[in-house]
Every structure is written in structure tokens, then in C-alpha cells.
Amino acid sequence: MDKQIILLPGDGVGKEIMESAKRVLNTISSEFGHSFTFHQHEIGGDAIDQSGTPLPEDTIKACQHADAILLGAVGGEKWDSLPAYLRPEKGLLGIRKTLGLFANLRPVKGFSPLLDASPLKEEVIKGSDILIIRELTGGLYFGKPSERREDGEVVVDTLYYQRNEMERIIDKAFQSAQLRNNHLTSVDKANVLESSRMWREIVDEKSKDYPDVTVEHLLVDAAAMKLITQPDQFDVLVTENLFGDILSDEASVLTGSLGMLPSASIRSDGVGLYEPVHGSAPDIAGKGIANPLGMILSAALMLRHSFGLEKEALEIEEAVSQCLEQGYHTPDLHMKGGQEVGTKEMTEMVIDNLTTNSVCEQIGTM
């Protein structure tokens, strides 16, 4: 398989973990006989420094013609005082919107060696396996441009959704539930927000088209509590943009670290951008200790969702699981025992497991 992949490392740890994903994909391409060609472009603070804008035209063009996109992270203190339209985050929001990547899939599934790495009790998190589906191109993030009145005393952010923007993400969530355990939790704030009341109506209307899926509505405040007290009660969780942003960082606690979570941002034709859920982690950037697994697992999601390479995606997930079973972990994972390693060593271990597994498979078929 011949694929053109755009790499947008971005800022902070984004650059460090992108290197890991690239090396893992190179291993997959040589083990499975694929040809992945990488094209690196700027986004975020990096792009502001090089080209004066967080989302240069050539980055947009390259992404529009790519088979898939991998993104590291954007943002950092250096650019925090710039006007809103010039911030690194605007680059990320811009590429999501321009490409129409409305469905953000954030799987939250713990690896068993990390059960004791979470501050939550093992009996609480055991068996949890959640797919958070976050609407990604609407809501408060993309309402009318935010305003601050001249005297500085009044601000306005607008939450804007069209019915069809809600319908398509809710359909996606029902379809995802059908491929999993047929349970959908819809999260909103229908006791306060009109947008949430419309969201809830649409979920109820759509549930008639998916009679095999059981539906539960939760208010977002209660959902936040239930996520870390009864996580095994969730299968697919669907929600709007801002709630999904917050709940997914919270849910990462189930897995032991924010550094573990991958994500896929896709549209109906399968075109996708893949990135870890975490940010540029300025507090550890440049130290060589960032956890590369969220990024590596995002590359696996790319193989699965954009290229249909299920076996290759599973191989990566299996290699990650084996590294953790062998006790290797970056410092963000508070595992009892095992060996603490940096980004590069962790990546080496994933690659070692990938190559060993494929040699074993070859011997097995001889």
C-alpha cells in the first residue's frame, strides 16, 4: 500500500513524539511491505515563528491532498499573549474546520499493566472501555468571533450549532455503538442550555432508527462524576465540542496518564487527522521524557480508520501492551516496579516488540 502522510509535529513535546510515530510507521512499512511517504509541514507556534501565521497556506494545501495527517501538539507560553487569531491553537482549530473533521474519536481503554498506575482504585477502573465521541467543528469553539467590549468589562463567546451538525455526529455515535456494546450515553446540559435541549431531542428522534442501541442521557456535571466512579457503565459517550474536550482529559485518568490517549478526527469519507489527546506539555518539553504512546496509538488509529489496515493497527497496539507488560514506562506512568525510560527508549521497546512479533509469526508459518 502506497500512502502520502502529512506530519505536523507542532510545538513542545509534539516534535519529540512525532519522531516516535514516524519510526514505528517505518517499521510497519518494512515489515508489511507498505510504502509510507512522509511530508513534514508547520503548524502552531512553530509556524508563527517561521511564517508569521499558525496555519500557513502550504500546510492547508498539503493536508487537502494527503491520504492522512498526523499531528503532535501545538501551543506554549511563548505565544500566549498573541491576539486570538494568531495563537497556535488557532492553527489546530483551523485545520479541523477547513478539512471538515467533525467527528473526534477518543478511545479510553486501559492496558492491564497500568491498572495500578491510576490514582483511582483498581476495582473502579477494571473492565472500563469507553469510546468518547466529541463533536469537533461547532459549538463555543466556532460561534461568532469572540468579543471583548472596549472598556474591557464585557465579553461574549457564542455557542452556535446547526441541526445537521448535531445529526451527523449523533448518527456516527449510534453507528459506533452498534459496532461495540450497543449502549450510548449522550451528555449535555439540557437543564440550562437550549443547544443541549435540541441535542437531546435529536438523540431521542435518532434512537428510533437504531432500536438495538440503548440510550441514556446524562447531564455533564453528573457525567463527570460518573466517569471516575462507575466508568464500566459507559460504552460510547457522545457530546458536544467543549464538554468532550474536558471529559476526555478527565477520562484519561482511568488509563494512568493523559500521555496514553490517542485520537482520530475524521469526516464521513474517512479522511482523518490523528493526534494524541494531550497538549505540548511545556513543563516536560525538551527533557526527552514525554510518553510517546498516545502518539504511537494515534498512528495505529490512522492505519485502522484511514487505510483499513486493521492487522497492522493491532500489531502496534499489541507491541505497546507488551512493552508495558515488560515494565517499561515513562515517568508520567506511576507504575509499581518496572523500568523507567525516556521517549526514545520507550519507542525502541515498541519497535523491538513489533519486529520480534513478526519474526515469531514468520517462524510460526514456516
Pairing of strands 236-239, 183-188: parallel
* Of 192-200, 243-251, 257-265, 349-357: span binding Mn ion (CB under 5 A): 243-251
| Closest separation in Å from C-beta 278 to Mn ion | 8
Count Cβ atoms within 10 A of the Cβ of residue 15 and give its class: 0-12 exposed, 13-18 middle, 19 or more buried: middle
* Of 102-110, 283-291, 311-319, 358-366: span binding ligand NAD (CB under 6 A): 283-291
State which of positions 78-97 bind Mn ion (CB under 5 A).
none
Residue 73 or residue 350: which is nearer to Mn ion going by CB?
A: 73
User: Which residues are marked as active site?
Assistant: 141, 189, 221, 245, 249
DSSP 8-63: EEESTHHHHHHHHHHHHHHHHHHHHT-EEEEEE---HHHHHHHHSSSS-HHHHHHH
* Of 138-146, 213-221, 238-246, 290-298: span binding Mn ion (CB under 5 A): 238-246
State the alpha helices, DSSP H only, in the chain: 13-32, 44-51, 57-64, 88-99, 122-125, 163-178, 194-207, 220-229, 241-251, 293-305, 310-325, 343-365
Asked if 245 is part of the footprint of ligand IPM (rule: CB under 6 A), the reply reads: yes
Residue 22 or residue 278: which is nearer to Mn ion going by CB?
A: 278
Q: Which does 259 bind (CB under 5 to 8 A by kind): ligand IPM, ligand NAD, Mn ion, none?
A: ligand NAD
Cα torsion angle, 258, 259, 261, 264, sign: positive
Residue 250 or residue 348: which is nearer to Mn ion going by CB?
A: 250
φ, ψ (nearest 5 deg) of residue 129:
-155, 100
106 known member of a binding site: yes
* Of 88-96, 194-202, 207-215, 318-326: span binding ligand IPM (CB under 6 A): 88-96
Q: Which does 264 bind (CB under 5 to 8 A by kind): ligand IPM, Mn ion, ligand NAD, none?
A: none
Q: How far apart are the first and last CA of the chain?
A: 24
Closest CA to 298 of 27, 48, 89, 24: 24
The residues, any chain, with a CB within 8 Å of residue 170's CB and separated by 6 or more, are 186, 199, 202, 203, 206, 238
Asked if 245 is part of the footprint of Mn ion (rule: CB under 5 A), the reply reads: yes
Show the cell assigned to 60.
492547508
* Of 29-37, 128-136, 227-235, 272-280: span binding ligand NAD (CB under 6 A): 272-280
Which amino acid does the sequence have at 346? M
Residue from 128, 196, 265, 291 touching ligand NAD (CB under 6 A): that is 291
State which of positions 82-111 bind ligand NAD (CB under 6 A).
89, 92
Show the cell assigned to 311.
492487522
The residues, any chain, with a CB within 8 Å of residue 75's CB and separated by 6 or more, are 10, 11, 12, 44, 45, 87, 88, 89, 279, 280, 282
Q: How many CB atoms lie within 10 A of CB 252?
A: 23
Binding-site residue total for ligand IPM (CB under 6 A)?
A: 7
Residue from 25, 63, 92, 351 touching ligand IPM (CB under 6 A): that is 92
204 known member of a binding site: no
| Closest separation in Å from C-beta 35 to ligand NAD | 28
| Closest separation in Å from C-beta 351 to Mn ion | 28
Asked if 279 is part of the footprint of ligand NAD (rule: CB under 6 A), the reply reads: yes
φ, ψ (nearest 5 deg) of residue 83:
-60, 155
DSSP 159-173: -B--HHHHHHHHHHH
3-state DSSP call for residue 157?
coil
Q: Which does 93 bind (CB under 5 to 8 A by kind): ligand IPM, ligand NAD, Mn ion, none?
A: ligand IPM
Q: Pick out the residues of the known binding site for Mg(2+).
A: 221, 245, 249
Give the binding site for Mn ion (CB under 5 A): 245
Residues found near ligand IPM in the complex (CB under 6 A): 75, 89, 92-93, 245, 277, 279
Contacting positions for ligand NAD (CB under 6 A)? 13, 73-76, 89, 92, 258-259, 275, 278-284, 290-291, 294, 332
